[in-house]
Each structure stands twice: as C-alpha cells, then as structure tokens.
Amino acid sequence: MFGETKLKTMIESIFISLALLAAAVVPVTAFINEHLTKTLSSGAKQATSWVVAVGLAFLGYWKGVGIFADTTILWTVITGVAAGFVSNGIFDISFVQDILTFLKLNKK
C-alpha cells in the first residue's frame, strides 16, 4: 500500500506546474514513439508529442490535481498547448508563463 501512495504522489506531482508538465511530456512521448509508433515520420512523432501534452493536461483536469484543480476546459487546453510549445523546444518556460500571465490565465 505504501508503494501505491508513493506512485500516486509522484504522478500527481507532474501537475504542480507548467514546467513539470512539459518535462513529463518528453519521456512519455519517447516511450510511445519507441514502443508503439516505430514507423511514423518525424512530423508524426512531433504530433504525438502535442497529443501527449494536451492528453496529460486533460488527465490533470480529470483528476483535479495541481494547476488543474478548479479550472476550466479552456484553461486545460491552453495549458496543454503551452506544455507542447515548451516540450517541443519552440518556447522556453519563462516565455510561456509570461504569455499566460499577460492573458490573465496563469494562476499564481
């Protein structure tokens, strides 16, 4: 039972911040690309990364944990896309957080 609690806490911890969510996208995408989608092109593999980012955001929304506690679906989609920007190397985390703050969507 201790192992289950520790694993649950570790999984929920990726939803504490946008940075941790974006960091979690990379290994999940790597696992999927290595084990499930070996024949995809590089563009399709990058699309997999975007789907993983938004999918993890919806998982956090569904569980109601971390930055997704008491939030809307719109915030979830925006956060998932932002995590995709960061995990794909398009923007760095501070730039994305500044944009979210500017849009007044970032919960501090």
User: pLDDT tens-digit profile of 46-81?
Assistant: 888 899 999 999 999 999 988 898 889 998 999 999
User: What is the helix (H) or strand (E) element at residue 62, kind and residue range?
Assistant: helix 42-63
On whether residue 19 sits in a domain, the answer given is yes
Tally the domains of the chain: 1
26-32: long-range contacts at Cβ-Cβ below 8 A with a sequence spacing of 24 or more? 26/87, 28/52, 28/56, 29/87
Domain contains 108: no
DSSP run (H or E) holding 16: none
pTM assigned to the model: 0.78
pLDDT digits (tens, 9 = 90+) for 83-108: 998 888 887 778 877 877 777 655 55
For residue 80, being part of any structural domain is answered with yes
Whether 60 and 15 have beta carbons less than 8 Å apart is answered as yes
- Residue 39 domain flag: yes
- Where in the sequence is the domain holding 31, given as residue range(s)? 2-102
